[in-house]
Amino acid sequence: MYKIAVIGDYGSIYGFATLGLSICPVKTREEAKNKLKQLAEGKYGIIYITEAVAAEIKEEIEKYQEQTLPAIIQIP
């Protein structure tokens, strides 16, 4: 069974922990790129990412567009 994660700044994503999702707070562009790569290679089927962070690592997200898993979904 695949897991679900959320990447973004802590203030925007901490509420998702109450839903049982794995939260991955990041502060820098490099941290976000590394975390996305780590989650994509793990057992994560869905990765939600805040729009602000997604804008910073657009090229990294595009690498996964042709793959079925993980589904990377931007959240406002």
- Do residues 74 and 51 make contact, with C-beta atoms less than 8 angstroms apart? yes
Sheet bearing 22-25, strands edge to edge:
22-25, 3-8, 44-50, 71-75
Tell me the per-residue pLDDT of 9-38, one tens digit each, with 9 for 90 and over: 999 999 999 999 999 999 999 999 999 999
Residue carrying the six token digits 């990377």: 72
Confidence category of residue 48, pLDDT binned at 50, 70, 90? very high
Residue 56, Ramachandran bin (φ over 0: left; ψ between -120 and 50: alpha; else beta): alpha
Residue 31: per-residue pLDDT: 97
Mean pLDDT of 54-74: 94
Confidence (pTM):
0.93
- Do residues 46 and 36 make contact, with C-beta atoms less than 8 angstroms apart? no
- Do residues 23 and 9 make contact, with C-beta atoms less than 8 angstroms apart? no
Confidence category of residue 60, pLDDT binned at 50, 70, 90? very high
